[in-house]
């Protein structure tokens, strides 16, 4: 159960509606109605920060040089680290759609070291894992990431990791539950 009273689109004031409309009309809303689920139902309540955050998120998710599978490995690693139920459940499905093996996603969910066959996925996981656990990445991982992704895409990867840390702590603070179409990855947690 969420800590916030659910709101409906018709309850939004003019400034909140601008944030909602930006979410719906941007790349997230393409081909589907996003609604007020996940972090979006929180961010519309604080429109100035909500608009800035949703703009960063739109770029992080949809306008980088990184492939979908690489992004999803990093995002799932962040979601699992924070045990952000909604985040991990939503991106688990997206990771599978992007071609990440189920055994990889499940290992990430258990916070076990996955057995990768894809070098770029392995590197994305290593960067995210080290940043989250050690607060930095070692020289070998940095060198590998620079070789595989290049400078600009590595900056994008680190930015995606940071953005999804924000998403995860937001979801956890307000106890945003999984939706009825998702499977709770950690049913023993509140």
DSSP state string for 8-41: -GGG--HHHHHHHHHHHHSTTTTTS--TT-TTHH
Res 73: pLDDT:
98
68-172 adopts what CATH topology? AhpD-like (1.20.1290)
For residue 37, the model assigns a pLDDT of 84
Domain boundaries, the chain: 9-62, 68-172
Consecutive 10-residue averages of pLDDT for the chain (190 residues): 86 94 77 76 96 94 96 98 96 97 98 96 98 98 98 98 98 92 90
Q: What is the pTM of this model?
A: 0.94
CB 12 within 8 A of CB 184: no
The residues, any chain, with a CB within 8 Å of residue 75's CB and separated by 6 or more, are: 87, 91, 94, 95, 160, 164
Residue 112 is predicted with a pLDDT of: 96
| pLDDT on residue 34 | 67
């Amino acid at each position: 159960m969420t800590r916030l009273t659910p709101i409906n689109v018709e309850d939004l004031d003019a400034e909140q509606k601008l944030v909602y409309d930006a979410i719906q009309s941007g790349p997230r809303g393409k081909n589907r109605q996003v609604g007020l689920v996940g972090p979006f139902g929180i961010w519309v309540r604080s429109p100035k920060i909500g608009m800035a955050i949703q703009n960063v998120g739109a770029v992080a998710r949809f306008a980088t040089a990184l492939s979908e599978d690489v992004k999803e490995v990093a995002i799932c690693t962040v979601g699992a680290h924070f045990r952000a139920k909604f985040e991990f459940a939503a991106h688990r499905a997206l990771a599978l759609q992007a071609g990440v093996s189920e055994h990889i996603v499940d290992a990430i969910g258990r916070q076990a070291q996955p057995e990768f066959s894809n070098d770029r996925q392995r590197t994305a996981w290593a960067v995210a894992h080290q940043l989250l656990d050690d607060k930095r990445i070692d020289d070998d991982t940095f060198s590998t990431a620079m070789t595989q992704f290049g400078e600009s895409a590595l900056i994008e990867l680190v930015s995606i990791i940071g953005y999804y840390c924000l998403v995860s702590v937001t979801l956890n603070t307000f106890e945003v539950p999984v939706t009825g179409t998702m499977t709770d990855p950690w049913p023993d947690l509140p």
